[in-house]
Amino acid sequence: MEFPLRQGMLVAHTAAMTSPRFVQVYREDSAGLRHELAQGLLGRPATVSPKFLYDALGSRLFDAITELPEYYPTRTERAIFEAHAPAIGALAGRGRTLIDLGAGNCEKAARLFDVLAPLRYVAVDISVDYLRQALASLQRQHPAIEMIGVGADFSASLTLPPEAGRGERLLFYPGSSIGNFTPQDALQFLRQARALGGAGGALLIGIDLIKPKPVLELAYDDPLRVTAAFNLNLLRRLNALLGCDARIEDFEHVALFNEAESRIEMHLQARRALTLRWPGGERPLAAGERIHTENSYKYSVAGFEQLLRDAGFARTAHWTDERGWFAVFLAS
């Protein structure tokens, strides 16, 4: 009697470790999303949240951007992690639940598995299909780590389903994704991250630093036009989610550094006067009028340290590259 039971348990255990659990909170077919998109388009100026840049194609285009010579953030952040892995590992602690916010292809977290030895890996992303694929492949490479995928939109509120488990948490938010929030919303997000980490929790976060304007603008407007494709993909998303009639050829990608606000802005600029139409609404655009699609705020080390303190993090450490282009902070 005992043998078949043991065998069954073994099979169940192995199955859990070869395919991650997935919890889908975010659904693309909601009336709430359509309302959010329509309200943004009707604004002055018209805006669309950068979270809509990411569907399966958008995520692949972002991955391609990270390969471009002009896009320094990914490789600079990677070099910082590689150079300071022992120190980061010693401060961040081993055996925690690693929560990857906006995990994308999960590659950055996976590179830290050796040094962090996470007990559990929770990958959260709005690009649900892409995350499912990336996580399934990662689980096959690391069958000993429990993995949970969470398809969620954390822009309004940062919460996790119970499946994410408890225990000591290390929140991971790389790639300077926090730059998509205004500093005020970033403060709010950091406060929520601190609460989500709980007692003994920590946050490992990557921040793009202020640097000369030409370097910044080239990173967001590469000659191969991959970033342009990434931005223009948003029009396909508007058509799919809202039933809009946008034509890609009617728009061009614009990226500029707004020094007063310390942010890169991405826009879609109308090449001619046109009207966007969708069920229940329309938005005329003059020739040259723009839809604002992304902000990417750039910080100084001192400025971001202050933001962490304002959010209630008592202890912080940070590491930068030789040029001072990017910083990784550990806050607890």
Site for ligand SAM in 99-118 (CB under 6 A): 102-104, 108
- CB nearer to ligand SAM: give 64 or 317: 64
List C-alpha distances in Å: 209 to 131, 258, 328: 28, 14, 10
Least distance (Å) from ligand SAM to the CB of residue 14?
29
HSE-CB at 220 with a 13 A cutoff on CA atoms is 22
Distance CA 245, CA 256 (A): 27
Closer residue to ligand SAM in complex, CB, 172/313: 172
- Distance of alpha carbon 178 from alpha carbon 288, whole angstroms: 29
Alpha-carbon radius of gyration of the chain:
21
Write the binding mask 146 to 175 for ligand SAM: x where contact by CB under 6 A, - elsewhere: ------xxxx------------------xx
Residue 208 is a binding residue for ligand SAM (CB under 6 A) = no
CB of 6 to ligand SAM, least distance (A): 40
Q: Which is nearer to ligand SAM, 159 or 258 (CB)?
A: 159
Instruction: State the nearest-atom distance from the C-beta of 282 to ligand SAM, in Å.
Output: 27
Whole-angstrom Cα distance, residue 21 to residue 237? Answer: 27
Number of residues that bind ligand SAM (CB under 6 A): 20
If the CB atoms of residues 169 and 270 are measured against ligand SAM, the closer one turns out to be 169
Q: Pick the binder of ligand SAM from 37, 40, 123, 125 (CB under 6 A).
A: 125
- Between the alpha carbon of residue 174 and those of residues 31, 78, 208, 263, 292, the distances in Å are 31, 10, 10, 18, 23
Nearest CA to 232 out of 266, 256, 265, 263 is that of 266
Among residues 60 and 211, whose Cβ is nearest to ligand SAM? 60
Our finding on whether 231 is near ligand SAM (CB under 6 A) is no
CA 84 to chain centre: 22
Per CB under 6 A, 188 contacts ligand SAM: no
Rounded to a whole number of angstroms, the minimum distance from the CB of residue 179 to ligand SAM is 9
Question: Would you say 249 and 203 are in contact if contact means Cβ atoms under 8 Å apart?
Answer: no
Q: Tell me if 294 contacts ligand SAM by CB under 6 A.
A: no
Q: Which is nearer to ligand SAM, 155 or 320 (CB)?
A: 155
CA 308/CA 329 separation, integer angstroms? 9
The b/e string for 119-131 (b: 16+ C-beta within 10 A; e otherwise) is ebbbbbbbbbebb
Q: How far is the CB of 256 from ligand SAM (least distance, A)?
A: 19
State the nearest-atom distance from the C-beta of 197 to ligand SAM, in Å.
17
Query: Does the protein bind ligand SAM through residue 76 (CB under 6 A)?
Result: no
- The binder of ligand SAM chosen from 41, 48, 122, 126 (CB under 6 A): 126
Compare residues 129 and 259 and give the one whose CB is closer to ligand SAM: 129
* Residue 40 interacting with ligand SAM (CB under 6 A): no
Other Cβ atoms closer than 10 A to 118: 23
In this complex, which beta carbon is closest to ligand SAM, that of residue 153 or of residue 222?
153
Which of 97, 177, 233, 295 binds ligand SAM (CB under 6 A)? It is 177
Interface with ligand SAM by CB under 6 A: which residues? 51, 54, 59, 62, 74, 102-104, 108, 124-127, 152-155, 174-175, 177
